[in-house]
Amino acid sequence: MQDPQPTASHFVNGAYLEDTAGTLIDVVYPATGAVIAQVHAATPAVIDAALEAAAAGQKVWAAMTGTERGRILRRAADMMRDRNRALSELETLDTGKPMQETLVVDATSGADALEYFGGLAGSLTGEHIPLAGGDFVYTRRVPLGVCVGIGAWNYPTQIACWKGAPALACGNAMVFKPSETTPLCALKVAEILHEAGLPAGVYNVIQGMGEVGGALVTDPRVAKVSLTGSVPTGRKVYAAAAEGMKHVTMELGGKSPMLIFDDADLENAVSGAILGNFYSSGQVCSNGTRVFVQKGIKEAFLARLSERLADAKIGDPMDEDVSFGPMVSERQMRIVEGYIDAGLNEGARLVTGGKQLEQEGFYLPPTVFADVTDDMTIAREEIFGPVMAVLDFEDEAEAIARANDTPFGLAAGVFTQDLTRGHRVIAALEAGTGYINTYNLAPVEAPFGGTKASGVGRENSKLAIDHYSEMRSVYVAMNDVEAPY
């Protein structure tokens, strides 16, 4: 197994960079609680070096053709696929997610983004708009400049790529700050991009806590901020960015509903609820954690769910047979335990799970509460852990109204064999990302993001291009200028 300790804490101007004056950050392996690496938070000097490098690198990068930029991004995608095993191991060490997941999701999804946006890079153009008398306007699609990416800890490789790939395809440079909980993976993304031919300074990674993120967001050299994180952090970052009139993308939290109707295919509905609650130990922003189950199917659903959960293989995430790993940190595990206590105290019925496993590491088993009501804390707040709340409902209109009664709007799902109802219900649910008869897939070709408090803007798909570039228009006169005097 590779040594997870990186060459240095930061990757700036095409090379690793260290400044030991920065606060020491321990990287803890969630499966054992052991410190496996250490990095230093960026000092003001490192932040400045990264922004200077990005500003200079962006000019070189933007002067290249889109086709040339795309070729480098696609080469990086191939390199990520070639190194998938090593990158997956690092993702597992950083997050504790099982190799069974990381081998097929994280570097793979990052490579998909680099390949997809690399493919688009050569076709990013403006348009020609004919006007009266032969006059015309043409538009130019131009990059924004230096973009800042700030990541959460649940998908460190993917987030680094989902932000970097569209930004770079458009000709921007990026300074990316990973979550202090998972600082390792983004450094590898930077290393690979530069090995693939990226000019120095175009993609930089600097470490640190909220203060480092805050310093980046308020810096006048920065044109755009893309954050993946919680709603409270999103509010702060959005407000700080507004002060400098910067562009933003906000990928925030959720409390997404999943509606399971009596006529649903039971096995598919149970699979969807498992994927939407327990994948990555429940640490997925779009999870469908409010599972509304119609009364006629409720007991069958709970019985089959319990049977299927008994098959989860909980253990060492490096073991490829293991399908359920630890939570990312002791802190996050304690937060989730607090929610489990709230569920018990407020009268929800614990069907399975609920207690930390007696082994080293931060293991909470898949936990299911039934008979949950809309006013309970576990039905209202984002838990970000393996806790499913099952709520009963009688009819469609009632379920839609209750599902929408939340400040969040990231995702929503519906399970029914009546496709007319499927489309009708998903259209009525207030969510940026909807699913009919499946849950939590996020292909790079499709827009991903939230409505209401869950976010602003979209990642992935052609739409992301609009969030990392702007149109400038040029009016061209083909006739004499008529002035009034």
DSSP type of residue 7: S
- According to DSSP, the β-strands at 136-143 and 128-130 are antiparallel
* Token representation of residue 376: 């309970």
DSSP states along 292-357: EEEGGGHHHHHHHHHHHHTT--BS-TTSTT--B---S-HHHHHHHHHHHHHHHHTTPEEEE--S--
Candidate segments 72-80, 177-185, 357-365, 385-393, binder of ligand NAD by CB under 6 A: 177-185
Q: Mapping DSSP to helix (H, G, I), strand (E, B) and coil, where does residue 438 land?
A: coil
Residue 253 binds ligand NAD, judged by CB under 6 A: yes
Q: What span, in angstroms and rounded, lies between the C-alpha atoms of 461 and 467?
A: 11
Nearer to ligand NAD, 13 or 228 (CB): 228
Our measurement of the distance from residue 307's CA atom to the centroid of its chain's CA atoms, rounded to an integer in Å, reads 31
Say how many C-beta atoms besides its own lie within 10 A of residue 428's C-beta. 16
Does 95 contact ligand NAD by CB under 6 A?
no
**Cα pseudo-dihedral 197, 200, 203, 206, rounded to 10:** 140
Report residue 264 as tokens: 């649903």
Residue 426-445 contact track with ligand NAD, rule CB under 6 A, x = bound = --------------------
Based on CB atoms, which residue is closest to ligand NAD, 152 or 173? 152
Residue among 398 and 445 whose Cβ is closer to ligand NAD: 445
Least distance in Å: CB of 54 to ligand NAD? 17
Report the nearest approach of ligand NAD to the CB of residue 280 (Å): 10
Question: Of 308, 310, 254, which is closest to residue 434 (Cα–Cα)?
Answer: 254
Of the candidate spans 48-56, 176-184, 353-361, 390-398, the one that interacts with ligand NAD by CB under 6 A turns out to be 176-184
- Asked if 108 interacts with ligand NAD (CB under 6 A), we say no
C-beta closer to ligand NAD: residue 23 or 268: 23
- Choosing from 94, 191, 337, 382, the residue that interacts with ligand NAD (CB under 6 A) is 382
237 binds ligand NAD (CB under 6 A): yes
Supply the DSSP symbol for 281. Answer: G
Active site residue 251: yes
Near ligand NAD by CB under 6 A: residue from 13, 179, 249, 416? 179
Minimum CB separation of residue 114 from ligand NAD in Å reads 18
Interface with ligand NAD includes 230 (CB under 6 A)? yes
CA distance 199 to 151: 23
User: Can residue 172 be called a binding residue for ligand NAD (CB under 6 A)?
Assistant: no
- Residue closer to ligand NAD (CB basis): 88 or 460: 460
Identify the CA nearest to 122 among candidates 141, 137, 138. Answer: 141
The angle, 0 to 180 degrees and rounded to 10, between the axes of the packed helices 298-309 and 266-278 is: 60
Residue 113, CA distances (Å) to 185, 193, 410 in order: 16, 13, 20
Q: At its nearest, how many Å lie between ligand NAD and the CB of residue 329?
A: 9
- Residue of 4, 119, 214, 447 interacting with ligand NAD (CB under 6 A): 214
Does the footprint of ligand NAD cover residue 209 (CB under 6 A)?
Answer: yes
Question: Phi and psi (nearest 5°) for 30?
Answer: -65, -20
Q: Which of 115, 251, 382, 459 is catalytic?
A: 251
CB of 417 to ligand NAD, least distance (A): 30
> Judged by CB under 6 A, does residue 236 bind ligand NAD?
yes
Structure tokens at 386: 């393996």
Q: Determine if 210 is a binding residue for ligand NAD (CB under 6 A).
A: yes
Report how far residue 398's alpha carbon sits from residue 408's, in angstroms, rounded to the nearest whole number: 18
In the complex, the residues that contact ligand NAD under the rule CB under 6 A are 150-154, 177, 179-180, 209-210, 213-214, 217, 228-230, 233, 236-237, 251-254, 285, 382, 384, 410, 450, 455
- Residues tagged active-site: 251
